Structure 1
Amino acid sequence: MPTAGKQKINIVWFKRDLRLSDHAPLAQAADSPLPCLLIYNFEPILLDDPHYSHRHWRFVYQSLCDLNAQLKKQQAEIAIYNQDMIALLESLSNEFDIKAIYSHQEIGLLNTFERDKAVHKWLKEKAIVWHETPLGAVVRARPAQFDWQQHWQTVMQQPLITPNWHSFNAILPSGYSACEHVKQYQTNDEQFQHGGPHAARAVLKSFIETRAQSYQQGISSPSKSKESCSRLSPYLAWGNLSLRQVYQTLRYYLPKRPSSWRRSLHAFESRLHWHCHFMQKFETQCSMEFAPQNPAYQHYPYRNDDKVSEHLSRFEHGNTGIPLIDACMRCLAATGYINFRMRAMLVSFMTHHLNIHWHCVSLILSRYFLDFEPGIHYPQIQMQASVTGTNTIRLYNPIKQSEDKDADGIFIKTWCPELSNLPIEYIHQPWQQPPMEALFNNFKLGEDYPEPMVDLTQAAKEARERLWAFRERDDVKHGARAVLKKHILSLQRQHNGT
């Protein structure tokens, strides 16, 4: 359709960058003399993707509401759509003469990569420029000789980017009204963290000012971590805060906090380094969404019997009969959060003790994790599932983790209330309770609480033998060398820097 008579505009396409501050694409568009259309698209390819669930899109919707409330004083609004991306661009191009699109690069799933290739093709045909800004310190097509750690430091120390609101000129399509799709996300659930930059800043403030004191002591506890961990991961995953904002806030407050806090704050700082490190690994080898980093593990002897579906379902619904596993899964289902140590244990239990393929486990957890970030999720899943051939094999004992990290059973009792009346010596292993004591405690294993679906001792023995024997294969060793070669610069720099 001819562009004569159409209004010339630029578009800012929001994705996993739901904030207005330290947002380079928004700032670049604001500096242009052309009016700017801000858009977010609840794309069907993502709404239908098995990695996501209602909790993620509700968080996004909450974030958009927060942004639009802030934009009111600029007489602006993010237009919300629910269409195929190419169809949306076609529709907008019928009304406007689109000169440029501004967005961050996306470190995402294969479907977003394929979408981006289609968008690139469409924009090239229309002679529309697409300005993509790197996300954080992640480098696309990283050179072989590249000091990634120095690059990370440089990016984190650069000044925060503030759009020039005085020159900002917003526009909306004629007759615009937000898509009907978002109505289903308007009911909040107070057990979940609320989306948006305002909530993100409040959580950052409470962590830096009070909660960080116990970060190092509480990080591994499933109950204490709810308060002592930063709880910033969903806000970073969906871009309510940039990593640079968090890093610079930490560096500002670090010398002002008591010396007794320093160990905790430095431990938190090191985890900010790891955030981009794992995303960089995923960007370098995004095939790990489907395939192991080490190709030899495509031949790993995972189960394919008719019990796998049942075991996955019991795991997903917190009915494995292993109290700490079930408590973690029920907590995830209800809140979207569990701490890192417990996440690692869950993956280890399913991929090692039950010998179920890591990808099946990955999809269940991604739907539960409110902070699901593909670039962190898949490298972590594969590391905990021991399919790299380079990382230490982590075979967590759920009973030892339970006794060490939830010794008094508070977390288990919270999420598995049917075990609340058991004496503490049996709450970690209810199957160990003698029949007479079980009768006295009015508890019947198999009725009040499931029997364990695996003998942990025997399963651990078999897993250990299976994992180490497979690791000795020549193709695994060859694959491990290739993995190290592919990621060695970032691994070395990260190790030396943290």
Structure 2
Amino acid sequence: MSRVIVWFKRDLRVADHAPLAEAARCDAALALFIIEPAWLASPECHPRQVAWLLKCLVPLRDALAARGLPLLVRTGEAVEVLAQLQREFACTQLFSHEETGPGWSYERDKAVARWCLAHGVAWTEWPQTGVVRRLRDRRGWAGRWRQRMDAPCLPAPAGFRAAPGFATSALASALPALRELGFSSAPDTPPAGESAARALLASFLGGRALGYRQHLSSPLTAETGCSRLSEHLAFGTLSMRTLHQATETAVRNTANRELAYGLRGFAGRLRWHCHFMQKLEDEPAIEWRNFARTADGLRPGDGSELQAIDRERLQAWCEGRTGFPMVDACMRQLVATGWLNFRMRAMLVSFAAYHLWLHWREPGLFLARQFLDFEPGIHWSQMQMQSGTTGINTLRIYSPTKQALDHDPQGRYVRQWVPEFGTAAYPAPIVDEASALAAARQRLYGLRQTREAHDEASAIQHKHGSRKSGLPPSGPRARRTRGADGGQGSLF
């Protein structure tokens, strides 16, 4: 008799969900989501993310209940929760999606694999993005991505044979409150769940994508001109395959050439999403250490303690009081809302890395907590790319003054988020821009000219660089390309 637990992680939907589709064929099934203390205590976690997760679980629970499958939401370490359920349910199989997550989730998965082996539970994982496990190099990666994304989407199962003794009605109010998880409150969050994701997708494909390629750079236009689907992909309320296929269909069906142009730009960025996640899958250590080891020791905080002046600069950056109004406006919007458009994210990291000469790890942790759409693979790859420590990407230094002139020429955005700008209450610039950037360029370009750095860049390019994938080039001789700007979690 096949008795299965479907373990939900960052895949909070019923459509295009391979573990669910397979569970519908089993003799008895349970659905499980684990709220893990390791996540709640991690330096990337924020109450906003926890609150949004709980909002996503409500429609998921209801959609599963309508199909006769109870969703158990348990709080605890994964192995302990699974062991308890094994005693209650005597499961023979565990189904889940693969996950490319931060270090704590990687260690968790290894512990679960050991527990399953020791207790005779067959754990089957399915891919849900273009990330390929145990990839040797990037040859053929783009073709495999396309093959996965073009495969038919799986419909939501019609019904399940639920495990005896786990009545759906008894679990109708089983979600914990935010306070029970140790958080007194959280900022407001957008609508959550699979239906909310599909509504956003429909509005984007149906017209919001007009002018997308221009709108995604400016904080004035990106709020409505971007898809705003990044948090839904991060929590899996919409599958990448569903998004890809819906976008391709919309391009084919529209007679509006401008809309099709915007949608084609968006479609290309979906490949970027998985391209960056693949880097963390291939090399999990980039969450903590430099891609290019020749960059080790380049900045304070890389193997050493931050000095008081660096701490002060970091704090000013986090609080949006650097004296650079575009930087401060962007940081304040992000802290208040949990979202910021891609170019302004890149500018924030560039400013921390080059103007303030801060190592990427602590700014990266602060940003990870603020982003509702935090996606570890994209985040840490981009933190390093924008900080100049990958060894292969073009050094990209953003001028806050130029960004303001280009994307907020009337000062509307700055006035909205930094109302004290222009008064005595607003601080002077925390650094002199010209001298700070001259020093940063001298250190980084000097480092990249060494034989050791060139040799290492070749090895990094072989392992992590794109291969005829429709992606912009990378490498020591790469030229500037618009797509290479990226963005921490919101590539689109």
Q: 1:77 aligns with which of 63, 70, 91?
A: 70
My pick for the range that moved more, 181-190 or 106-115, is 181-190
**Matched pairs, number:** 464
Q: Give 1:367's aligned amino acid.
A: R
State the partner residue of 1:280: 278
State the partner residue of 1:435: none
Q: Look up the SS of the partner of 2:210 in the other structure.
A: helix
Q: Look up the SS of the partner of 1:417 in the other structure.
A: coil
Residues 58-207 of structure 1: pairs in structure 2 closer than 5 A: 58-144=51-137, 146-169=139-162, 173=166, 178=174, 180=176, 182-183=178-179, 189-190=187-188, 192-207=189-204
CA distance in 1, matches of 2:340, 2:410: 18
State the partner residue of 1:394: 396
CA distance in 1, matches of 2:57, 2:164: 17
Q: 2:20 aligns with which of 4, 26, 46?
A: 26
CA distance in 2, matches of 1:494, 1:416: 39
State the partner residue of 2:243: 246
Q: Look up the SS of the partner of 2:420 in the other structure.
A: helix
- Asked whether the 8 Å contact 1:203–1:231 carries over to 2, the reply is yes
* Structure 1 vs Structure 2 CA RMSD: 2.1
- Asked whether the 8 Å contact 2:138–2:463 carries over to 1, the reply is no
- 1:493 and 1:61, CA in 2 relative to 1: closer, same or farther beyond 3 A? same
State the partner residue of 1:383: 385
- Asked whether the 8 Å contact 1:82–1:179 carries over to 2, the reply is no
Offset from partner CA, 1:306-355 (integer Å, 9 cap, x none): 12222212111111111111111110011111111011111110011111
How far apart are 1:144 and its partner, in Å? 4.3
Q: Give 1:295's aligned amino acid.
A: R
- 1:286 and 1:31, CA in 2 relative to 1: closer, same or farther beyond 3 A? same
1:493 and 2:486 aligned = no
State the partner residue of 2:479: none
Offset from partner CA, 1:17-60 (integer Å, 9 cap, x none): 1111000011111111x211101111000110001111111111
- Asked whether the 8 Å contact 2:207–2:259 carries over to 1, the reply is no
**Structure 2 unaligned blocks of 5 or more:** 474-482, 484-492
- 1:225 and 1:309, CA in 2 relative to 1: closer, same or farther beyond 3 A? same
Residues 241-390 of structure 1: pairs in structure 2 closer than 5 A: 241-257=238-254, 258-302=256-300, 304-390=306-392
How far apart are 1:172 and its partner, in Å? 6.2
Offset from partner CA, 1:136-170 (integer Å, 9 cap, x none): 12110014474111111111111111243245435
- 1:19 and 1:110, CA in 2 relative to 1: closer, same or farther beyond 3 A? same
Q: 2:32 aligns with which of 39, 49, 64?
A: 39
- Asked whether the 8 Å contact 1:211–1:227 carries over to 2, the reply is yes
How far apart are 1:494 and its partner, in Å? 4.2
How far apart are 1:405 and its partner, in Å? 0.9
CA distance in 1, matches of 2:184, 2:308: 40
CA distance in 2, matches of 1:358, 1:496: 23
How far apart are 1:259 and its partner, in Å? 1.1
- 1:145 and 1:313, CA in 2 relative to 1: closer, same or farther beyond 3 A? closer
Q: Give 1:217's aligned amino acid.
A: Q
CA distance in 1, matches of 2:232, 2:11: 9
CA distance in 1, matches of 2:39, 2:271: 28
Q: Give 1:289's aligned amino acid.
A: E
- 1:496 and 1:172, CA in 2 relative to 1: closer, same or farther beyond 3 A? farther
Which has more radius of gyration? 1
- 1:153 and 1:92, CA in 2 relative to 1: closer, same or farther beyond 3 A? same
Q: Look up the SS of the partner of 2:90 in the other structure.
A: strand
* TM-score normalized by the length of structure 2: 0.90
CA distance in 1, matches of 2:64, 2:389: 46
Q: Give 1:10's aligned amino acid.
A: V
* TM-score normalized by the length of structure 1: 0.89
Q: 1:475 aligns with which of 418, 442, 452?
A: 452
State the partner residue of 1:436: none
State the partner residue of 1:10: 4
CA distance in 1, matches of 2:21, 2:119: 24
CA distance in 1, matches of 2:382, 2:363: 12
State the partner residue of 2:213: 216
How far apart are 1:486 and its partner, in Å? 1.0
**Structure 1 unaligned blocks of 5 or more:** 1-6, 420-429, 431-442
Q: Look up the SS of the partner of 2:94 in the other structure.
A: strand
- Asked whether the 8 Å contact 1:31–1:164 carries over to 2, the reply is no
Offset from partner CA, 1:357-384 (integer Å, 9 cap, x none): 0111110110011110011111111111
Q: Give 2:111's aligned amino acid.
A: A
How far apart are 1:64 and its partner, in Å? 0.4
My pick for the range that moved more, 138-147 or 105-114, is 138-147
How far apart are 1:72 and its partner, in Å? 3.1
- 1:377 and 1:12, CA in 2 relative to 1: closer, same or farther beyond 3 A? same
Offset from partner CA, 1:86-125 (integer Å, 9 cap, x none): 1111211121211000001110111111111111111111
My pick for the range that moved more, 209-218 or 16-25, is 209-218
Q: Give 1:165's aligned amino acid.
A: A
How far apart are 1:275 and its partner, in Å? 0.9
- 1:37 and 1:350, CA in 2 relative to 1: closer, same or farther beyond 3 A? same
- 1:214 and 1:494, CA in 2 relative to 1: closer, same or farther beyond 3 A? closer
Offset from partner CA, 1:435-461 (integer Å, 9 cap, x none): xxxxxxxx32xxx11222111122111
Identity of aligned residues (%): 37
CA distance in 2, matches of 1:187, 1:485: 46
Offset from partner CA, 1:223-262 (integer Å, 9 cap, x none): 2100101111100111010011111111111123201222
Q: Give 2:282's aligned amino acid.
A: T
CA distance in 2, matches of 1:31, 1:15: 21
